Amino acid sequence: MSLGKKVLSKLGAIGKALVWLLYFICADGVIFYAFAFIGIDRNIYRGVYTLTSSLVVFVTMLVISKLLSIKREPLIKIKKLDPGQVISLVVVALGMLGFVTLYIIVADRIAAYLESLKNVMEEYRDSVDRFSDTPQIVIPAWDTVIYVLTLCFVIPITEEMTFRGVIYGQLRRAFGPWVSVFISALLFGSLHGISVHIGYAIICGIIIAACYHLTDSILAPVLLHSIFNIFGSGISTFMSFEAFGISDKVRSDYMLGTNLLSMLMMPLAVIAFAFLVSIKRKKEKELIKLEETSNIQVELTEETTGPVDEKTETVSEVEAKE
């Protein structure tokens, strides 16, 4: 392939990735206006709204991935994870949560001296607080349950299908794995806006995409994202709903315990990530060895069948002469 075609191929891959990112944003916008048209307040029924938006994106991304995989390498890789990989991914997810916790603590300390950052931190907390703009008394308990379940299980599937599945998959075909890891992480970070979110979202995006590459299974990023959301915001959101009757002390103890545990898991997460790297390298070596063995067998077969063909030809010649 010429240099010009290679450049066009890479630009085309980036363009497609941006199209899928734009679609992800627009799909949420369509559901937003649909709810407004019907007259459903999405602030009150955020659980229903979030679930609907996530399912619409998931179904369409699934269809897109199937269409883009026709007569080509599958865009989304799905393999069964072994127990060692699952345990490592859980540790990495908790370590990632510890990193974000530390990130927010540091940002808070800096915000104490910078008024502009202080305002940004307040906006950030409002954005991650399910009940910041709506009185809890008007929110149905069942919608809160739907919201938490969607946050913990549906959103991870939808976002990973989009960013590590379709977007990363398109980029991987043109750039290879590691460049695609960083580009997809930048796009993932940009989704969270230019605020406190973007810094840790990019780092988390790199970790998640790297784990996808190391395991060759979309189940890995889904598991990472799900564990992160469960302990990062899912349980705390559930406990914050006053109608469930969970005391402030229990909520405070949970938050303190989760923060401490996740930060303690950070060094173990590095070891777990290294373990995933070692597994990947081992499998690659086994694959190379298998290919070499297969090539040797082909060569031996050709050497064996060669003389037989010559003998057959000689016999045929003799018969022809007779």
pLDDT beyond 70 at 194: no
Amino acid, res. 314: T
pTM equals 0.88
pLDDT, tens digit, 9 for 90 and up, residues 115-161: 778 888 888 888 788 888 889 999 999 999 999 999 999 999 999 99
Residue 1 three-state SS: coil
Q: Give me the chain's average pLDDT, please.
A: 89
Of the ranges 3-12, 21-30, 69-78, 269-278, the best mean pLDDT one = 269-278
Position 256 pLDDT exceeds 70:
yes
Reduced 3-state DSSP string for 137-188: HHCCHHHHHHHHHHHHHHHHHHHHHHHHHHHHHHHHHHHCHHHHHHHHHHHH
**Weakest mean pLDDT among 24-33, 126-135, 258-267, 312-321:** 312-321
pLDDT given at position 130: 86
pLDDT in tens, 82-97: 999 999 999 999 999 9
Mean pLDDT across 188-203: 84
The pLDDT of residue 1 is 65
DSSP for 237-285, please give it.
HHHH-GGG---HHHHHHHHHHHHHHHHHTHHHHHHHHHHHHHHHHHHHH
For 193, phi then psi, to 5°, come to: 85, 165
pLDDT recorded at residue 318:
43
Residue 51 above 90 pLDDT? yes
**Closest by Cα among 284, 222, 291, 225 to 78:** 222
Percentage of the chain lying above the pLDDT 70 cut: 93
Q: Report yes or no: 254 and 239 within 8 Å, Cβ to Cβ.
A: yes
Sequence ranges of the domains in the chain: 3-278
Rounded Cα–Cα distance for residues 240 and 259 (Å): 17
Q: Which of 99-103, 178-182, 300-304 has the lowest mean pLDDT?
A: 300-304
Closest-CA residue to 88 (of 271, 250, 238): 271
Provide the token pair at 210. 């790297």
Each as own residue / partner, the long-range contacts of residues 255-258 (CB below 8 Å, 24 or more positions apart, any chain) are 258/97, 258/231
